[in-house]
């Protein structure tokens, strides 16, 4: 869409339209003024027969880095939070058939907590950085990297939700459902559903 906007601006400049006229018509068509200004700013204000593009440094690699690390830290945070809840369940409702269960649970509890403390603040910082850049340049909301990773997240979380529901139904049919099992399945369902709902809402908001 950003390339289409620039092509429109280029064609309008080529036909002799003023920058203010182009900006006004884009605003009337529903474009964000920052996006319109960015598209106009891609062409130098020099007198020539055709619009002269300004030199522009590609930031796609940096953008891909920010989105990739933010999604990686999101998945680490979600997994660590789920594992943390699992270990609390194991401690509160111990399995009498497992030996040295408490020691193993406390060790896993520390590992999950450490991963959450490291990954989640990094995720929040990167999301803040991305939000700041989008505010300055709204067309970045249409980033291909972001959309692909968002849809990949929807695929992963929907697969987790489906697998969790299958596991619960299988347990019910086999009569093997316990309080420990229900709490863990509910944790997986809530974490996956929360992430799925957020990214689905975000994509729908963008499409609107």
Q: How many domains does the chain fold into?
A: 2
Q: What is the pLDDT of residue 195?
A: 95
Query: Residue 195: enclosing H or E segment and its boundaries?
Result: helix 179-207
User: 130 with 122: CB under 8 angstroms?
Assistant: no
Burial of 181: CB neighbours in 10 Å, binned 0-12, 13-18, 19+: middle
Q: Per-residue confidence at 187, pLDDT binned at 50, 70, 90? A: very high
- Is this structure's pTM higher than 0.85? no
Task: Tell me which residue of 107, 185, 194, 196 sits closest to 159, measured CA to CA.
Answer: 196
Mean pLDDT of 25-49: 75
* Whether residue 89 is found in the same domain as residue 26: no
Mean pLDDT of 48-64: 67
Per-residue pLDDT reduced to its tens digit, 142-168: 677 888 889 999 999 999 999 999 988
* Whether residue 105 is found in the same domain as residue 28: no
Q: Please identify, among 34, 53, 72, the residue that sits at the C-terminal boundary of a domain.
A: 53
* Whether residue 80 is found in the same domain as residue 169: yes
Q: What is the pLDDT of residue 72?
A: 94
Range of the domain at 140: 60-207
* Whether residue 116 is found in the same domain as residue 66: yes
* Whether residue 70 is found in the same domain as residue 145: yes
Q: Please identify, among 53, 77, 95, the residue that sits at the C-terminal boundary of a domain.
A: 53
Mean pLDDT of 54-70: 75
């Amino acid at each position: 869409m950003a390339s289409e906007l620039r092509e429109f601006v280029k064609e309008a400049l080529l036909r002799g339209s003023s920058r203010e006229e182009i900006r006004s018509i884009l605003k009337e068509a529903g474009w964000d003024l920052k996006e319109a200004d960015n598209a106009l700013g891609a062409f130098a204000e020099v007198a020539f027969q055709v619009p002269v593009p300004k030199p522009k440094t590609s930031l796609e690699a940096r953008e891909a880095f920010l989105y990739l690390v933010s999604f990686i830290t999101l998945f680490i945070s979600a997994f660590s939070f789920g594992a943390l809840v699992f270990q609390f369940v194991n401690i509160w409702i111990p399995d009498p058939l497992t030996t040295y269960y408490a020691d193993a649970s406390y060790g896993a509890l520390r590992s999950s907590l450490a991963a959450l403390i490291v990954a989640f603040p990094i995720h929040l910082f990167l999301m803040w950085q991305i939000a700041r850049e989008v505010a300055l340049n709204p067309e970045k909301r249409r980033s291909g990297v972001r959309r692909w990773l968002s849809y990949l997240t929807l695929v992963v979380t929907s697969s987790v939700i489906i697998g969790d529901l299958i596991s619960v139904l299988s347990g019910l049919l086999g009569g093997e459902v316990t309080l420990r099992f229900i709490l863990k399945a509910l944790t997986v369902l809530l974490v996956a559903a929360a992430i799925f709902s957020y990214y689905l809402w975000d994509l729908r908001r963008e499409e609107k």
